[in-house]
Amino acid sequence: MTIGFEVLARDGKARRGRLTTAHGEVDTPVFMPLATTGTVKAMTPEGVAATSARIVLGNTYHLMLRPGADRIYALGGLHRFMNWPYAILTDSGGFQVMSLAARRTITETGVTFRSHLDGSLYQLTPERSVEIQHQLGADVTMALDECTLYQSSREAVASSTELTMRWAERSRRAFVERAGHGVFGIVQGGVHPDLRLRATERLIDIGFDGYAVGGLAVGEGQATMFAVLDVTVPALPNDRPRYLMGVGKPADLVGAVLRGIDMFDCVLPTRSGRTAQAFTARGTVNLRNARHADDPAPLDPECRCPACTGYSRAYLHHLCRSGEILGSMLLTAHNLRYYADLMAAMRAAIEAGSLADFAAAFESSQ
Could you confirm whether 91 is annotated as catalytic?
Answer: yes
Phi, psi of 2 (to 5 degrees): -100, -150
Q: Using CA atoms, how far apart are residues 40 and 57, in angstroms rounded to an integer?
A: 9
Q: Using CA atoms, how far apart are residues 79 and 64, in angstroms rounded to an integer?
A: 15
Phi, psi of 282 (to 5 degrees): -115, 20
Strand 210-213 versus strand 14-21 pairing type? unpaired
The SS3 of residue 1 is coil
The SS3 of residue 131 is helix
Which residue of the set 91, 209, 252, 341 is catalytic? Answer: 91
Residue pair 145/94 in contact (Cβ under 8 Å)? The answer is yes
The SS3 of residue 332 is helix
Strand order in 30-32's β-sheet?
Answer: 30-32, 263-265, 242-244, 210-213, 182-187, 140-142, 87-91, 55-59
Could you confirm whether 11 is annotated as catalytic?
Answer: no
Which residue of the set 11, 139, 265, 341 is catalytic? Answer: 265
Q: Which residues carry out catalysis?
A: 91, 265
